[in-house]
């Protein structure tokens, strides 16, 4: 019960509403975008008039795209092959890698939006790993816009995009491919000293402790819609008596109390559960969910 819940809702709404964005960039035909995100695109999807160079770019190199009045500059500035070791493991297994990317909008005749879906990473055997379709509090910051978010002309946006990667895979390229006309890769093989690629991290059960109340929101009021200070903390709505949880709503929304399903007792992360149990809390007052028979942070 972290910001994943809010990010998924925001990304689904953004994808449904997206109608026109930046120059000649749509979904990559050879790589489907994650279901909860939308790529930089145009309602007419015109081909780019300046396709990206075929050569692999050096880390930090800026690539410009122009088409039909749009002008963008895109850069991969950094890479971490073993990002977010404290986050829950990817649903399909493996570990997380992350790329620090930057997009600048120089010219645009209509609103430009950016998100994670045009990005992927490739390993030394040409295996491709699309960007994650969920996000966790433990992911590196600043986070590149997860759901489609607008970028005004003259503005740039920078942040980390996170990828679920198979254990043992050696990632050497970051790929940007919003449509078939725009495909660019950056070499990240030498981005950092070699490190041991971590295998899926098992979650150790937390020691049993006396349950403590969730911290109140700002001003001492805990109610749906009120700001709060500790993501994943649980509380009780002073107006309705319903269980609520503190959720990160994105860089523009901050931490806010939202309603949750009724909490079932007190449990430790890593302990077994019944799928029907749905939502519980840890002894220290953090919200957890029953996922595939195990209590864990986030969905």
Query: Which residues lie below 8 Å from residue 175, measured CB to CB, with a gap of 6+?
Result: 119, 120, 121, 122, 128, 183, 184, 185
| pLDDT top residue among 160 and 194 | 160
Co-location of 176 and 272 in the same domain: no
Co-location of 35 and 145 in the same domain: yes
What digits encode the pLDDT tens for the residues 61-98? 999 988 778 899 999 999 999 999 999 999 999 999 99
d(CA 124, CA 9): 35
pLDDT at position 214 = 46
pLDDT at position 203 = 56
pLDDT band, residue 54 (cuts 50/70/90): low
- Residue 108: CATH number of its domain: 2.60.40.1240
pLDDT band, residue 207 (cuts 50/70/90): low
What digits encode the pLDDT tens for the residues 96-128? 999 999 999 999 998 889 999 999 999 999 999
pLDDT at position 29 = 41
Q: Tokens representing 141?
A: 């910051």
Q: Which domain holds residue 39?
A: 3-187
Q: Where is average pLDDT lowest: 2-6, 90-94, 176-180?
A: 2-6
d(CA 100, CA 76): 6
Co-location of 27 and 147 in the same domain: yes
Q: Is the pLDDT of residue 55 over 70?
A: yes
What digits encode the pLDDT tens for the residues 40-53? 443 333 444 555 45
| pLDDT top residue among 184 and 212 | 184
Co-location of 159 and 282 in the same domain: no
Q: Where is average pLDDT lowest: 92-106, 174-188, 230-244?
A: 230-244
Co-location of 106 and 27 in the same domain: yes
Co-location of 256 and 114 in the same domain: no
Co-location of 107 and 168 in the same domain: yes
Q: Is the pLDDT of residue 219 over 50?
A: no
Co-location of 241 and 172 in the same domain: no
Number of domains in the chain: 2
pTM of the model: 0.51
d(CA 144, CA 186): 17
Which whole number is the average pLDDT over 18-41?
A: 38
Query: What is the total residue count of the chain?
Result: 299
Please give the share of the chain, as a percent, with pLDDT higher than 70.
70
What digits encode the pLDDT tens for the residues 241-293? 888 888 877 777 778 888 887 787 888 888 888 766 778 888 887 888 888 78
Residue 112 falls within a domain, yes or no? yes
């Amino acid at each position: 019960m972290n910001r994943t819940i809010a990010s998924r809702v925001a990304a689904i709404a953004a994808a449904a509403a997206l109608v026109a964005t930046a120059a000649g960039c749509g979904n990559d035909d050879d790589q489907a975008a994650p279901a909860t995100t939308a790529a930089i695109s145009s309602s007419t999807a015109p081909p780019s008039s300046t396709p990206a160079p075929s050569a692999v770019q050096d880390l930090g190199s800026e690539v410009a795209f122009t088409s039909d009045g749009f002008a963008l500059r895109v850069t991969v500035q950094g890479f971490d092959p073993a990002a977010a070791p404290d986050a829950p493991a990817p649903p399909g297994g493996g570990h997380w890698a992350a790329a620090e990317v930057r997009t600048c909008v120089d010219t645009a005749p209509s609103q430009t939006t950016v998100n994670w879906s045009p990005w992927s990473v490739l390993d030394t055997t040409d295996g491709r790993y699309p960007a994650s379709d969920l996000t966790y509090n433990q992911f590196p910051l600043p986070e590149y816009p997860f759901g489609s978010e607008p970028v005004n002309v003259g503005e740039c946006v920078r942040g980390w995009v996170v990828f679920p990667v198979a254990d043992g895979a050696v990632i050497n390229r970051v790929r940007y491919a919003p449509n078939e006309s725009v495909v660019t890769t950056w070499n990240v093989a030498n981005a950092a000293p070699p490190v041991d690629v971590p295998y899926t991290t098992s979650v150790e059960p937390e020691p049993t402790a006396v349950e403590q109340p969730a911290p109140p929101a700002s001003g001492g009021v805990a109610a749906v819609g009120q700001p709060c200070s500790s993501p994943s903390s649980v509380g009780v709505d002073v107006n309705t008596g319903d269980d609520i949880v503190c959720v990160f709503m994105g860089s523009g929304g901050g931490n806010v109390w939202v309603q949750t399903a009724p909490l079932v007792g007190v449990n430790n992360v890593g302990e077994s559960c019944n799928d029907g149990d749905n939502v519980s809390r840890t002894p220290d007052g953090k919200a957890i969910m029953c996922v595939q028979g195990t209590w864990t942070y986030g969905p």
